[in-house]
Amino acid sequence: MAKLRAVLFEKPTVYWNDQKMIFPFAKMEALLYYLLITGEATREELAALLWGDMGDHAAKRNLRNTVYMLKKMFSVDLLITSSRAKIALNPDIVTETNLELMTVTDIVSFLKKNPGEFLGGFYCKDAASFDEWVTEKREQFRMDSINHLTKYIIKLINQKEYMLAKKYLKQLIGMDAYNESAYRVLMKIYEKEDSYKAMEIYQDLERKMAQDLSLLPSPKTQELYRRIKNRKSSRTIEEGAVSNQKFFGREKELLQLRLWMDDFYHKGHSKQMILLQGDQGVGKSAIVEQLFASIPIKHSNIFRTQCYQAEYEYLYKAWNNIFLQVMSCLMQADIHLPLLWQQVIAYVFPTTKISETLLHKEITVDAYKFSATMVEEIMCEVLGKAAHLKKTILVIEDIHWMDKQGWLLLWQVLRIHGKHILCIATCHAEYLQQIDKTTEEFERSNMLEHLEIGRFSAHDVRKLSASRLPDISKEMQSRLYDYTGGNALFLIECLNLIAAGRDISHGSIRLNSVLKERTGNVSDNARKILEIASVFFSNVNYVVLQAISQINEFDLVEVLEELQQKQLLMEELEADRGGAAYKFYNLQIRNYVYNQMSTIRQRMFHKQAASYLEQQLQDGMQSKDVYEHILYHYTNADEKLKMLDYTIKLTEKYFCPQYEMFPELNRYYPTGYVDFRESRSQITIYLEKIKELLDVLVHSKMANKRLDAYKVAYWEMSGRYHIWRGEHLLGLKLIHQMLRLASVQKLREYQIKGYQQIIYCGIQTRRAYLIREFALKLLHLTEHDELPDKKATALRFLGIACALKGQYQEAENYYRQSLALFKKLTARNRFYAFTIAAAQNYIGDLRRENSDYQAALHHYEQAVRIAGRKNISEGVALFYINAGYTAFQINNYVKAIAYLKEALSVAEGFGDQKGYWCLRGYCTLNCVLALIAVRQNRPYEARIYFEQAKDFLKKYNDQYQNGLIFRTQAEIKLLMKEDAKVAEVFEEDLPLPAVAYYQQARKVFDKMGMAVELKSLEDMMSEYNCKR
């Protein structure tokens, strides 16, 4: 016996003997799904469920037909209909629906096989009762799944299967987004694993509830979060104090240091000093500590010291700690030093331990008896005594702050006792130039090895953050690299902030202390440059820095060299301009510098930056980025009027849609604009911003005349947008409102724009009188102001008005005049090419109206060629549609399909952002493709196109498209009588006879005066009658 298998969740599908079945209509499929769930149902129940909007007799007739087709499609044994009252599904035929898996034991398998909702994406038209039943069942199955999965998770937790419990808790939360119990259990599991993910989970819940419900999590959940947060914070501090964080990476650097240490211990290393250099906080000291932790040092002396900037001027101050350790070591080894040596050491380093004899005497030393050379020699010998006991390593942190005499002592010590003493020193990279001359002596004596410690790469940051916080998101990992620039100290501090549930942009006390030290030791001019650079969100051009800072160019170069040397700014080349630009080493430095400024100083620099960029606009450097940067600076300067000004300019130039058939192209709105989809999607956001700013400024009672100009701009863009969307009444209301104010304020540019928008609305609604009235007004304005391009546009509009009234010769005369003017203008400006293409398109319309399809096709093809085939423009799409429709009318299906497919390809660039006129064109496209498909015996494909065509009429009441759909229905209905397969597919959609659709189409086209469509309709009916 054949078997039936059904997938009822996500995308429902039915298989008969493992072959996927395609149902001719939705209610047939719905009937089977209902019986798969219920098993059986009465005929009255099924008729009311699927045909409740019909009379009882019609509903039962449809049910009988549907049952018959199900049996025919599958098997006569599929349904048991022995009773006149009931219909049942034969259980022996159904092999699998997966509903049998909906138990506590098998719930995991069920959810894996059925990730979606019950009958997801399935829709049955005109069956409200069935839709209600589906909704009820979806909720029932969802709640059953939640209950079974909850019990399964509890079972896993009791068995201590925490990994699986986590996995299914996340799945449970996905099914029940506000299930706080599930959130709390998941947080507790992560808390046991010592994972910071527990706090992230709470924050996700808090954010979701705030956004969706405007509520906070329950007190019970909040209390759990506070307890976990406090525990994690205290643990982080304790671990930091004990272990100073686990070491990460630096294998290459450690290997090199170990090799040098091996040479020192076994061969007597030829270089007596190793200098680790790199950014402050890059991890130099941590590498040294890791080195000592990884090698045996019990047979060595390690003497350490830290140099400080405040002690830079004090002789031998950096050596104080070293000699404290040295004297202690010698006393423990019972090494007796000569009295003079002890006196010198006690004089230079008063806190050092000396012999008991000297302790009981008042040390009175005549400093004039000692020369500097003698003091150095004695200190060298004292160190030498310690070095001959054990190999000795001197660790000097921040050696760039060591005084000059201290450097001389170090050179002498290493020169004399280099076989037994090795110095490992660290130095901030920004101070290398400061000690260059000093280290030259060491290099000439072949004493010095350099080891550069670089910042972590982006890959290292991801790896380290993942190892410290396993549940950290990839987005946060990328953000960490941007904020820290790979600096180890900054990175560790940021990870600690995340672990404590704090925002990394605020920084920690330790981090701010480091940043204060790094940025504090710069010149006044350097600080000014840092502050200016911090108001830019990416990099800042050299010329911009010079213009805003007003620093002498020679001084500016020195300042930039200083900041690069201190590794606060880095230089990069701007690819688009070829000049130098500067940016901060990481965002932490930039944020710190910016936040240290007062609000008034921040606003001052933002205002100066915006003013400079405004000047760049006037000098011709116009681009979307420049406008956005100006708006950014004026927003941060809180300059409301300027914010409004540039929001309007940015919206007008880059975001507000042009009328698609006649886009007024320019450098801001070129045909094929790459950000087309993004720009259309943001228009409502920008219009809302403009409205908010206008409301604020109206209340501030600023100068009315200037504000009126902004109101005019806003009403024009808003009206244009609504007309583009097909919301004609609202659009016209706004445009008329704009025109009244523009007329009072004598804003000619906006009067012209307003006239054009009303004309575009007239074209969309086929109002010839409206087009003519405002085209004449436009023509009058253009003649008065001598605007040849607008005059050419007005002439074309007059041609359209004539065409709509059937005055084809007059229309062509206007088109030809318009075309001649535009061709003259094109010699000087390439942006008129698209308007010439539009004129060719309208001449093509005239040829089509005269049934000269070949000539019409030629003009449409010319329009495509002139506009450019690859341009993402609604106009190009409409040229393709017109060409495809015309090719269809001469039965050239190959060419028709090619053009229409090109139109579909262009549409992919629009996304969901299509205007009314463009959507109208795609309604035509779908009608034509449906007719071609049905003529070529592809009825299922035809039905898809036809449904898409009808979707347009659900939103817009367009008479022409209404007539075209009736004409399509008439032809399909005629073909249904000749082809059983077509009849089977379209039976439910086309209940009326063909003549009814024909008469409705004829009525529409006759009322609109569309002779060519009437002729095509009559030809189609005549051809069918001849076949009969």
One DSSP character per residue, 904-968 reads: HHHHTTTTT---HHHHHHHHHHHHHHHHHHHHTT-HHHHHHHHHHHHHHHHH---HHHHHHHHHH
- Evaluate the CA torsion angle 524, 525, 530, 535 in order and state its sign: positive
Angle at 262 between CA 259 and CA 264, to 5 degrees: 110
Q: Taking residues 432-459, report their average pLDDT.
A: 87
Look at phi and psi of residue 567 and say left if phi exceeds 0, alpha if psi is from -120 to 50, else beta.
left
Angle at 122 between CA 117 and CA 126, to 5 degrees: 130
Q: Taking residues 297-320, report their average pLDDT.
A: 82
Highest-pLDDT range among 70-84, 205-219, 368-382, 965-979: 965-979
Contact at 8 Å (CB) between 917 and 841?
no
Sequence ranges of the domains in the chain = 4-141, 251-452, 518-638, 915-1028
The pair of three-digit structure tokens given for residue 264, joined into one six-digit string: 């020192």
pLDDT, the chain, mean: 82
Q: How far is CA 957 from CA 735, 764, 962, 963, in A?
A: 22, 11, 8, 11
Q: How far apart are the first and last CA of the chain?
A: 44
When the candidates are 3.20.20.370, 3.40.710.10, 3.20.20.10, 3.40.50.300, the CATH number that belongs to 251-452 is 3.40.50.300
Amino acid identity for residue 371 in this structure: S
The pair of three-digit structure tokens given for residue 55, joined into one six-digit string: 């009379």
Domain 518-638 bears CATH identifier 1.10.10.10: yes
Short-list 428, 425, 370, CA closest to 394: 425
Could you count the other beta carbons within 10 Å of the beta carbon of residue 112?
A: 10
Quick check: 234 pLDDT over 50?
no
Highest-pLDDT range among 217-231, 574-588, 844-858: 844-858
pLDDT of residue 394: 94
Q: Which fold has domain 4-141?
A: Arc Repressor Mutant, subunit A (1.10.10)
pLDDT of residue 194: 53
R_g of the chain computed on alpha carbons:
41
Quick check: 237 pLDDT over 50?
no
**Of all residues in the chain, what percent carry a pLDDT higher than 70?**
88
Distance CA 530, CA 547 (A): 14
pLDDT of residue 855: 93
**Phi, psi for 156 (deg, rounded to 5):** -65, -40
Quick check: 911 pLDDT over 70?
no
**Exposed, middle or buried: residue 336 (CB in 10 Å: 0-12, 13-18, 19+)?**
exposed
The pair of three-digit structure tokens given for residue 606, joined into one six-digit string: 């933002």
Distance CA 480, CA 483 (A): 5
Distance CA 466, CA 470 (A): 5
Short-list 831, 899, 898, CA closest to 867: 831
**430-467 CB burial, b ≥16 within 10 A, e <16:** bbbeebeebbeebeeeebbbebebebbeeebbbebbee
Give the global pTM. Answer: 0.55
Helices vs. strands in the chain: H and E counts, helices first: 45, 15
Contact at 8 Å (CB) between 285 and 321?
no
Q: What are the tens digits of pLDDT across the range 957-985?
A: 788 889 999 999 999 999 998 888 889 88
pLDDT of residue 912: 61
Could you count the other beta carbons within 10 Å of the beta carbon of residue 323?
A: 22
Contact at 8 Å (CB) between 600 and 526?
no
Least confident range of 4-18, 110-124, 764-778: 110-124
What are the strands, taking DSSP E only, across 504-648?
540-541, 569-573, 580-584
Q: What are the tens digits of pLDDT across the range 179-204?
A: 888 888 888 887 766 556 677 788 77
pLDDT of residue 505: 62
Distance CA 124, CA 128 (A): 8
The yes-or-no answer to whether 4-141 and 518-638 have a common fold is yes
Residue 909 makes CB contacts below 8 A (sequence gap 6+) with 676, 677, 872
- Evaluate the CA torsion angle 606, 607, 609, 614 in order and state its sign: positive
Contact at 8 Å (CB) between 318 and 401?
yes
Query: 667 or 516: whose pLDDT is higher?
Result: 516
Q: Taking residues 991-999, report their average pLDDT.
A: 91
Distance CA 671, CA 660 (A): 10
The string of DSSP letters for 487-501 reads: -HHHHHHHHHHHHTT
The pair of three-digit structure tokens given for residue 383, joined into one six-digit string: 């160190």
Residue listed under structure tokens 């008729």 = 47
Residue 684 makes CB contacts below 8 A (sequence gap 6+) with 721
Quick check: 1002 pLDDT over 90?
yes
Per DSSP bridges, beta strands 421-428 and 391-397 are: parallel
Q: What are the tens digits of pLDDT across the range 741-783?
A: 999 988 888 999 999 999 989 988 888 999 999 999 999 888 7
Residue 346 makes CB contacts below 8 A (sequence gap 6+) with 352, 354, 358, 363, 365
Distance CA 251, CA 425 (A): 19
CB-facing half-sphere around the CA of 777: CA atoms within 13 A = 18
**Exposed, middle or buried: residue 882 (CB in 10 Å: 0-12, 13-18, 19+)?**
buried
Q: How many residues does the chain have?
A: 1028
Contact at 8 Å (CB) between 837 and 875?
yes
Q: What are the tens digits of pLDDT across the range 253-290?
A: 888 888 888 888 877 667 889 999 988 777 888 888 88
pLDDT of residue 910: 66
Distance CA 635, CA 646 (A): 10
**Of all residues in the chain, what percent carry a pLDDT higher than 90?**
19
Contact at 8 Å (CB) between 989 and 973?
no
Distance CA 473, CA 114 (A): 28
Short-list 742, 635, 740, CA closest to 693: 635
| pLDDT tier for residue 673 given thresholds of 50, 70 and 90 | very low
Residue 611 makes CB contacts below 8 A (sequence gap 6+) with none
